[in-house]
Structure 1
Amino acid sequence: MVFKDSLSGQVLYKQYVKHETNKLYLAGIEEISRRGIKVQSIICDGRKGLFSLFEDVTIQMCNFHQVAIIRRYLTKRPKMQASKELWEVTQLLARTDRESFEGGLNAWYLKWTDFLNEKKMGIDGKNRYIHKKLRSAYNSLKNNMPWLFTWYDNIGLEIPNTTNAIDGMFSDLKNKLRNHNGLSMARKIRFIDEFFKV
């Protein structure tokens, strides 16, 4: 788990973990703060429950991760017209401002509300939504909206709208480790420690 300063590019904190958890994220931020570093904002991938952990810190959800979430629901080449249009709106996310994106999403919703709310009775006699994945995609954008344009609302803080800087470091590390295939675990750890140099 790695925490990196987006302005200086410096790695602030690193920890070896089996799985990422919100508790570990909280511990990482607390450790950085304990070291006297003021955390002005957090750019994260939008894990469930993470936003509510940091009520006193400005949070930006990575736009790239949000687009990836929508792609999982709709695919890159949706077949239904409503899905195609929502995918087009989603692709504007990293290239526009809050007002334009919200306007586009609201216009899409007004156009497709009836379609989105279509239900069908199942064999158990219960009415269920027909277009569940489309509804989930729309709800993801709507529910995450407060954190998608933090960079825009706080332009003076120079907050990136993606986690690309740290994702790029991990890609570089993976490539370098692949070139040194066969390292023992102890040597891998030494290699990683040197790579991140905290």
Structure 2
Amino acid sequence: MRTRSKRAKRCPSCGGRMEKYGHDRKGAQRWHCPECSVNGVFHDPKGRKAMRRELDSFVARLLGGHTLAEEGRSFRRDREWCWRVDPVIPVPGTKSHVLETDGTYVNGRCLLVPMDGTTGLVVRIRWCAHESIAEYRALFRGVPAPDVLVSDGMRGMERAAAAEWPGTRLQRCLVHVHRDTGRDLTHQPKTQAAKELKKLSSRLFKVHTAEEAARWGEGLNAWYERWKDMVNERTTAKDDPAHAAGRKWWWTHERLRRCYKRLEKLFRDGSLFAYTDPALLAGGEVPRDTNGLEGGINSPIKRMLDDHRGMPRKHMMRACEWKCYTRSPHPDTGAPLDAYLKTRHDREARRREKTRLAESATGDEPFADRISVQLPDPGEPTMNAYESGFGIRHGWAGTST
């Protein structure tokens, strides 16, 4: 007979109210869910509310700037199961106006994080060995295409975005552009052309409108007209055989040319000043760098890992996942806990089914009834099993020295 429990017990599959459903052979209480028809024995002595409180305290101490070692050995032992809870961020159903995406490396693994540039919330995460087109395509797949994608210039990211989101505009991070310029021209260039180009690159941060962007492009074009002979100058192997290295010719001022070509390509593609486009500004403000992602997600992750130095890689990755999950649109620890309970229930159900199949293969009869006694054929000589030397032996009887 089914009776209702005085204390509501929730189903690990659907979260519905469960009813008592008799007992198993060992006397354990069985439960049944009328909504999803799940029934079985659920070994949950703490209860969902107690586990929720333990999980909340675990996450608060993990992300609160205090080390878990300060809580004592008993706290770490009681919360050991919390490391197995996987905080999965659900795929958003609505598109974002701007997404800032970057990868940060943690103990040899790369964490790809796309963040909403307007709200500062994490949309999705993905672990990988290194940044590549395939990994970024897997990250973007299923996410609604944003209007603008702000990136640091990773080619794999841009190619993956072009494949998954054909209509999305790209905005190159101006901080990374200026950093690349400094790497090519050094911080104290020697030639007059390099000094002027570096000064022009520094003016990127003073562009706020479409008119100022057009004037900046005119300045870049004027610089090229003035120094194009120097940019296109070549050196042949005959002029400098010591640096030929199997080449017939090469650009004399290769770094200067590479810096100009980068700025010219970004300006021509519209990914240098996409944040000044009136059509994009109609949907909201567009950031011109990835500082929101670097300071909002990547830096807190590194500070958290610094607070918990010495954790194994598996725990470090789980801590990063919880950090990103708390910055997601719906950071509720109840959803990961329900998924963990359901997975544990499914694992126990598979174990019980495996045990049942093993018992059905051997039979449920007593052991004495399952003994197969083979009688001798008539006419063959028989042997008394209880003659001397064939009985049950105890101790050291029958052993050789």
TM-score (normalizing by structure 2): 0.46
Letter in 2 for 1:24: E
- For 1:95 and 1:25, the matched residues in 2 are separated by 32
Matched, 1:138 2:230: no
Whether 1:73 and 2:73 are equivalent positions in the alignment is no
Structure 1 window deviating more from structure 2 (99-108 vs 84-93): it is 99-108
Deviations 1:52-93 (A, max 9, x none): 434211211111111122111111111111111100001111
Moved more, 84-93 or 148-157: 148-157
With over 3 angstroms needed to count, the CA separation of the structure-2 counterparts of 1:94 and 1:23, relative to structure 1, is: farther
Shift of 1:171: 2.0
- 2:151 partner amino acid: C
Deviation at 1:128, TM superposition (A): 2.8
Which residue of structure 1 lines up, in the alignment, with residue 193 of structure 2?
82
State the SS of the aligned residue for 1:158. Answer: coil
The aligned residue for residue 303 of structure 2 is 175
Confirm whether residue 27 of structure 1 aligns to residue 138 of structure 2.
yes
Give the corresponding residue for 2:25.
Answer: none
In 1, Cα distance between equivalents of 2:313 and 2:131:
20
Paired position in structure 2 for 1:12: 123
Q: Which amino acid aligns with 1:121?
A: T
Q: Secondary structure at the match of 1:115?
A: helix
Higher helix proportion (structure 1 or 2): 1
Task: Identify the structure with bigger relative contact order (alpha carbons < 8 Å, sequence gap 6+).
Answer: 1
The separation in 2 between residues aligned to 1:188 and 1:127, in whole angstroms, is: 50
Is 1:113 the counterpart of 2:228 in the alignment? yes
Letter in 2 for 1:134: L
Q: 1:184 to 1:101 in 2, by over 3 A?
A: same
Structure 2 unmatched runs, 5+: 1-111, 329-401
C-alpha spacing 1:188/1:128, structure 2 compared with 1 (3 Å): closer
Structure 1 residue 165 displacement after superposition: 0.8
Q: Deviating runs (4+, > 3 A) in structure 1?
A: 51-54, 124-127
Tell me the residue number matched to 1:155.
Answer: 281
How far 1:43 moved relative to its partner? 0.7
Aligned pairs for 1:94-105 (under 5 A) are 94-96=205-207, 97-105=212-220
**1:102 Cα deviation (Å)?**
0.5
**Other-structure match for 1:64:** 175
Q: SS where residue 148 of structure 1 aligns? A: coil
Cα RMSD after superposing both structures: 1.8
Q: What is the letter of the counterpart of residue 273 of structure 2? A: F
How much has 1:152 moved relative to structure 2? 0.7
* 2:293 corresponding residue in structure 1: 166
The equivalent of 2:347 in structure 1 is none
Overall identity of the aligned pairs, in %:
28
Q: How many residues align?
A: 194
Unaligned residue ranges in structure 1 (runs of 5+): none
Deviation at 1:127, TM superposition (A): 3.8
State the one-letter code of the partner of 1:47.
M
Residue in structure 2 matched with residue 184 of structure 1 by the alignment:
312
Secondary structure in 1 aligned to 2:319?
A: helix
SS of residue in 2 equivalent to 1:60: strand
- AA aligned to 1:107 is A
1:41 paired with 2:118, answer no
Alignment partners' CA distance in 1, 2:254 and 2:128: 35
Please tell me the residue identity of whatever aligns with 2:203.
Answer: L
Moved more, 157-166 or 130-139: 157-166
Deviates more, 1:22-31 or 1:162-171: 22-31
- Cα separation, 2, equivalents of 1:177 and 1:107: 49
Residue 128 (1) aligns with residue 250 (2): yes
Greater gyration radius? 2
| Structure 2 Cα separation of the partners of residues 58 and 116 of structure 1 | 30
Scaled by the length of structure 1, the TM-score of the pair is 0.90
Q: Report the Cα distance in structure 1 between the residues aligned to 2:254 and 2:262, rounded to whole angstroms.
A: 12
* Paired amino acid for 2:289: T
